[in-house]
Structure 1
């Protein structure tokens, strides 16, 4: 009887820890798990509100824009979505396009989300190509937001286009325990700083146009460079032993494929379309940017 009671108490403590601050996110990776509140749960916002902020990170002055819902409730947990800008863009670009259109869906579906748009451009490129200072910046922001805000630490996401997709992909190799899912629009795995891959599972979605000459679907099979290999890397890390040939669109209507044989908690999806270098693609007869729509639907699975 005593042994049964001990087992019951242990099981109860495991399941109840999903809703407790400070518990590892690894505990909360089941689908539709209970929120995992950050240390900021229950804290007043004070003077930390929507706007532009500057912090010192890795010896650099860095800026970011944060968008906190006007009806913020310190006793409610919020999804956190990072949006990484492209070359020629900035954090203002992310604000102007409603964070790749995701804020439009959040407001429409009444989903509590905090959006963040960090500013790159510290070494003549949108995001750093030779060192990990952008990764340190990301980690510093995460630590700050978890302390000040009521974040659901099991539902932190990141997305980006072009150079922003390259940076997002780079983060996806190191921050798998922090990020629940990422979306990369025209990613590349060269000409960007890449950390050593931790090979931990992560939900992954990316898109590449069949006519994209900048961030190619295949840049080098020998070196495993290109959007194709960004997809297959995460498929392997998520447990897929036999890698498939990914279907490519051959008509104006896009083709999105979810790879089979992966755990429901860690899906990998690839969207192909006949087109060039863009994060705004529409099927014939449609006014909907399916990339934004499918990203939102993908993030909301978790």
Structure 2
């Protein structure tokens, strides 16, 4: 935790992108080994080629699109980046009803290599987020990309309903958000996804036996930070009443608490 940045080979490089624009929102057409994929991105206006930046991916849900992720500020995280410390990326799904599949793990690898090769990235602070199917994809990445992903934040996730890789026995930072009335990615599915990570992140899987405080039916949301996981691989579990949405709000509040809880979690690293 709080290690010095680990700069990538893109540091010091003058990078010129062939940007296209949707209104004032930039994107690129990314050529990869299986075709071309639209990728929304936001680079700080004062980008410094010698300063390593966090890299944060936002993965779309089923029925959504990467432009929607960009419009919502990458699940509300970009407006919180007041220090311009991060590059935000939202790749378009594969165009199918199920927008993420086995090939998209390769897409992630090639996108990560592209950004690390062309921009100054802190390779020790690469993160992925997502809602619903996008959360299941980010959760799947947390199973076998622990060597390149520092942490994920998954909103209404599940450990099924998607192509999933074999798990590497390595820890990773992990945050889950669960609406207790979600009837699509149900609480049972979300807790099962969490428990898989608790097993990876603690000695002998002992963290699975730690009882997490959850929302009890009144008042604001509850976020619980596990105490029996390895310190390097924290796990945060946030619950509240609510259905299959990512931007849960506390009673009487107009603004979702989820982005700040996520931003604070990512800033542990």
Q: TM-score range by the shorter chain?
A: over 0.9
- Residue deviations 1:128-149 (CA, integer Å, cap 9, x gap): 2xxx200000000001111000
1:232 matched residue in structure 2:
195
- 1:247 equivalent to 2:213? Answer yes
- Residue deviations 1:175-202 (CA, integer Å, cap 9, x gap): 1111111000000111101000002110
- Of 68, 84, 91, which residue of structure 2 is paired with 1:93? 68
Name the CA distance, whole Å, in 2 between partners of 1:116 and 1:145.
10
1:162 matched residue in structure 2:
132
2:59 matched residue in structure 1:
84
Name the CA distance, whole Å, in 2 between partners of 1:88 and 1:246.
32
- Residue deviations 1:151-178 (CA, integer Å, cap 9, x gap): 0000000000111101110111111111
Question: How many residues were matched structurally?
Answer: 260
- Residue deviations 1:46-89 (CA, integer Å, cap 9, x gap): 23668322233342322211111111110111000000011221
- Of 75, 98, 102, which residue of structure 2 is paired with 1:125? 98
* Residue pairs, 1:1-302, within 5 angstroms: 31-47=1-17, 51-107=26-82, 110-128=83-101, 132-218=102-188, 226-240=189-203, 241-242=205-206, 243=208, 244-252=210-218, 253-302=220-269
Residues 58 and 133 of structure 1 are in contact (CA less than 8 Å); yes or no, is this contact kept in structure 2?
no
Q: 1:287 to 1:123 in 2, by over 3 A?
A: closer
Name the CA distance, whole Å, in 2 between partners of 1:245 and 1:47.
48
Larger radius of gyration: 1
Which TM-score applies when normalising by structure 1? 0.82
The structural deviation recorded for 1:123 is: 3.2
Residues 63 and 97 of structure 2 are in contact (CA less than 8 Å); yes or no, is this contact kept in structure 1?
no
The structural deviation recorded for 1:282 is: 1.4
Name the CA distance, whole Å, in 1 between partners of 2:57 and 2:225.
23
Name the CA distance, whole Å, in 2 between partners of 1:189 and 1:230.
5
Q: Extract unaligned runs of 5+ from structure 1.
A: 1-30, 219-225
Residues 249 and 255 of structure 1 are in contact (CA less than 8 Å); yes or no, is this contact kept in structure 2?
yes
Name the CA distance, whole Å, in 2 between partners of 1:55 and 1:95.
16
**Tell me, what secondary structure is at the counterpart of 1:100?**
helix
Name the CA distance, whole Å, in 2 between partners of 1:97 and 1:103.
9
Which TM-score applies when normalising by structure 2? 0.92
Q: Extract unaligned runs of 5+ from structure 2.
A: 20-24
